[in-house]
Structure 1
Amino acid sequence: MAQRAARRGGATQASSRDRRRSDTRDPRDGEGIIPVLAKTVRQVEAAAQRGKIRPTQRTAYQVVALLVREERARVKTDATISEAERTNVMTRLDGIATILAKTAARDTSLLALLADGATVSPTAASMRNDMLRAAGREVEEEPEPEPEAESGELPAVATRRAVPATVIARQLANPFLAPDFSAARTPRPATNRLASWELLSPLFRSFEYGGDATSMPLPEASEVVHGIKDLVLMPHQAELVGAAADGHRTFLLADEPGLGKTAQALLAANAADAFPLLVVVPNVVKANWAHEAALWTPRRTATVVHGDGDSIDGFADIVIVNYEILDRHVGWLGSHGFRGMVVDEAHFIKNKTSQRSQHVLALSERIRERIPRALFMALTGTPLINDIEDFRAIWQFLGWIDDKKPRPALMAALEATGLAPSDPGFYSAARTAVINQGIVRRRKVDVAADIPARRVADLPVELDGAMGRSIRAAEAELAARLVERYESTLAARAQATSLSGVGGGADSGAFVDGIDLGLVRRVAAAELKNTGNGVDKGDNVFTLMRKIGQAKAELAADYAAQLARNVGKVVFFAKHLDVMDVAEATFAKRDIGYASIRGDQTPKVRKANIEAFLEDPSVSVIVCSLTAAGVGLNLQVASNVVLAELSWTSAEQTQAIDRVHRIGQTEPVTAWRIIAAQTIDSQLAQLIDDKAGLAARALDGSDEEVGSSADVQLEALVSLLTDALEKENATSAAGTGVSGPAGDAAAEATAAPLAAPSVSPFSPFSPFSAS
């Protein structure tokens, strides 16, 4: 094996040189950062020639200029490329810089965006990440971690702070806050048995084991809605409002999407008199929250913070702010005197090192210091994204734990069990104790029988032609690269063992019978770590999935068009803009009316497109971005969803489907996942389904087998490498005539024909039939 690895190493070096000659720096290649920058700067140039540069295009101009600077600096210091290649790339970058200069000559106000110290808005940062992803580079979703702040201390940030004038007027009008003596009602531990125990890890593990309880005890639903007339609550909604009226003040509201969490939060705040109320939400649902506040709490005024907040009402009862601009408003928000705080899509704060998580946690501490029994609500239909410890930041926001241990109320509940982590039954009792702090989890099938069932149907498609061959070649190349690393590591291990004079026994670690799964995971992790840093040439797992999405785009759009003609309106979801472009072109060619929801649209355009899909019979399909339309939309007019691309998380897939499967839906909902047969796409679909099992077990007490909690990207690479090694071993066994079970299995694996793609038995027609 070591000799085979050495031979392959020489061949791979040669192929690496060949790939480097045809990588993103070749001007004939359509991949990489330079074509993305060139396309964008041409669009801005065209707008300048028309004399109509919109704010979005100004932002694009700034982002292109910044990326050109970064790319020039990177290429200058990249020792892995030749001088000829470096000259080629620098020439192309100079061409983009020339277009930037000509555009600035037409509109000199653009020069201010390039000055030292020019503000880079959150929109610009998001656009920069989108361009890097479009170039096949992986980017960090979060900014660099800030130093941990002390309890209640707001993190320091580089961006400027804003204090709206009306907020100052309110502070002058109300210089003192009324005293609050509610802390006396907080339970205190009666004993001190658990003081020396490390309790956070056992608490998290208690949710891995599942259990009977899924929700805290709630009072019976009351027909009376506090202060609200002519509105009807569903029983499960009224139960939570009743709990707030009875004095409960912390809730992890983890109802499945579509069960009305926004209404419950607003009415709970009304029942608890938790005004002024701070609501932190994703940008796309700010307007929806203001609309819901006017509907459910009409006696309370709501204000939405945009930009520096110049237009907000500082005297409003409900202040709605989005995560992206929280950094510039944390100063006055922390001293505004809020009596309650709601965090919508609370899984956004799962990464405690991110700046937005630190701001949310610090604000909750500031509010808790002033109002010990303030109302805190974390809303999310998908609280578990990757791991059980995604709970940590949410629990800390709610005041159940701090960085090291449970807080008094939870500690009192744990002490009351009379058990320690070493005792049988502790995990079940601890899980119940945490749930009783305020976890509320209801499923549609249990509390909303009038909402029809939903199902996910996979539609395998064959990728034919040049695109299909290119994808299969790219996947094979990625697998070969992983196998090469695996075998070279084994060879190095064997050589080190030989030089040290240690035998090849079981304790040496040099040899493993069969595939070394530990080494497989390390090789996959190294590949994921190197992704996007220029170490490896060729496709990585992210660019490979993007190519698969591009190849599936027209097939998925054709299927959506057939659905629209046969069963009515359809919601089409894609992850990348170029996939959306292909889908829209296909619908236009098929004479199918469509609207679209994208991240770069103005609120006015977004609203008009949604209304067109909901109200115009001629608009049969709405083409949605997974990131821009995954939350905050009610599209119950459709009952069919087409998922053209797979996400990296089951949560994102669930959120997309639940734009249709929610209160008000009258028909069974089907989500059609378009899967590229005989590619990594099918493995990714299985991994996503495994992720869904994790949430089912942790929150719903399900006995369903829990999939791995590691990142799906890593698991996809592990699966790809394992399959490649098994095929190689099977081929070797067949070629050497190995007999016995191993040889028989290898021969069977080699001889097994590929399964033909199948259409879901529920589908009334084939996705391959002519339109």
Structure 2
Amino acid sequence: MPTTATAARSSTQRRRKTTSSRRDDEAPVIPILARKVREVEAKAQRGKLGPTNRVKFQVIAFLVREERARVKADTEITDAARAELLKRLDGVATILAKTAARDTSLIQLLEVDQATSPVARRMRRDWLLEAGSELPPDELIITDNAPKIAPVVPASLAEKQVIPASIEARQMANPFLAPDLTPRTSGDAPRRRLDGWELMGPLYKAFEIGAGGSAASMELPPVPEFDRLSPRGLEVMPHQSRFLEAVRTGHRSFLLADEPGLGKTAESVLAASVADAYPLLVVVPNVVKMNWAREVQRWTPQRRATVISGGGADIDAFADIFIVNYEILDRHLSWLSSIGLKGVVVDEAHFIKNLTSQRSQNVLALASRVRQQTRDPLMLALTGTPLINDVEDFDAIWRFLGWTNGEKPGPELMEKLDATGLTPADKAFYPEAREAVISMGIVRRKKKDVAADLPDKLVADLPVELDDEFGRSIRQAERELGARLAAKYRRIIEARGDRGLAAGAIDEDIVRLVAHGELEESKAAGSGSENVFTMVRRIGQAKAHLAADYAVQLQRSVGKVVFFAKHIDVMDAAEAHFKASGLKSVSVRGEQTSIARQAAIDAFNSDPGVGIAVCSLTAAGVGLNMQAASNVVLAELSWTAAEQTQAIDRVHRIGQGEPVTAWRIIAAHTIDTKIAELIDSKEGLAQRALDGQSIEPGSSDSVQLSALMHLLRQALGKA
């Protein structure tokens, strides 16, 4: 039986509920505003205030003003009730002010007097209808503003535009783009059942709440019976074949969100071939620009790729594929938008998630122009991490693909949503909406899902271009070293005579002798003079930022990564970059005590907050277990194949449940490329001698000696 105190409390609670209910009846929109402002506040506290929540903030602000004016003017409300309602509205306004203080870019939204965009007007209408308000007909039917066609090149970038001379030659050779004769639908799109609903927020929510373990990957065709795409010596893996079959059947826009190491680059290159999407533009981070050109040559050798650097003076204007990095795209917008692109690939597409950045606006403007010029262009967004902070990170990618325009779904997606027969008021709408978006072209596979397709251990080379002053000085130093070796060679030949050498031939014994002498001098000189060891160290320093940047992107895609470097300054530079990128890392170095080293390893293996282990090739290459990761970045090359193998095997060991990929960062057009080739040839020694594999025997010379001999032959014109 309840006590007197309990009964009194219950009576008080009933009175409060009754009073609150009466107040809600007098201003039913206030509880809705209170709930919505808490949602916005929670997002802002987590730093996840995307476009939809910014519109929500704006609508709350002007509804608070509308409601305050209505409450003050309503003569049927008692003074006490009016004071209480105004107090509650002030509470909502206070939360808005605190949120704006946290994100000052919101302050300008507080100054807007009315809902201007169709999205904001729909949101205001839906909330008022939820509150039971009666609205005039002109507020019930909301039409979209006529789309504005923004110029590809904004006025602020007009002076930066460059037109390479070779591009002018291409345009003169073919001054008219081939007409697109594909029949197009005429007239306005028919009105649909969901036209009056605000749908972007519900679409994001559909992904935020998930689907009970259902993977976000569209249904792909089965593996074809025959591989008709692979060039001689290569083979498309089954999971890649299924993606390419989807392209063959006519699908043209994809968010390809496979984990790194599953061959997204090769898939994209072959997809362009299947769709005949040439000329094709590929926008990439600088660190993978050279790798894209190499993959085009490997998988579609009949096609020509050109890499755009700087002002584009050296590009092949008649190429099929144009590869450009994000940083310099703004200089090339004008001519890229005029050559009739049939497709665009955006690698590491999460780079464009910030819609206010010039980088994102450049990519989206080009994509819009390509869709205007070409019916069904091939549009590929590649990223293992489409979502970094919030589900609204999808926004820019969906816009790039043409699935939405930021305010509402595009016609094809709208048709799929309409076909569900549901609205956002129905709980069942959200899983159906998620499936509708996925069917537009989201493809997501993990290594563990396609493990049978993959080798258990893969070394993937990523050539990078050192196109800054530091990189140019390295290549100059290589040429000077080669010239010095060639001068020694010629002096010996002149002193002893050619002894019957054929015209143009070189004496390999003298080449070895000169290279050996240089190697011994380099070992004796240490770091005080320019030699092969100091040169390789400088290459490592030049690659440090690019390698660290790639490791950051990799970590955000697949989780934990082990980063190996040979020199302390390269490790220091990498750790500084990881810290600046907001990633927690641990370090394993030679000068550490055994206790400190083990603590770092334990933290990497067990602490989910630790994303990267920065390890010394020499100090951490043996005896360590770091199988919490399945991806390794080799920022610098070792001088031995065994040292490289030992480093990779810190991850590739018993207990590892996923295929392991080692990403080897190689400086293109430098001795680094030759060293990588020599290391691979030494790897063949163990495969031949111990594993019984039939591999051609290579030289027994050390990598250092072979590298110097290569430089000398190159200087003599015989490499």
The TM-score, its normalising length taken from structure 2, stands at 0.46
The TM-score, its normalising length taken from structure 1, stands at 0.43
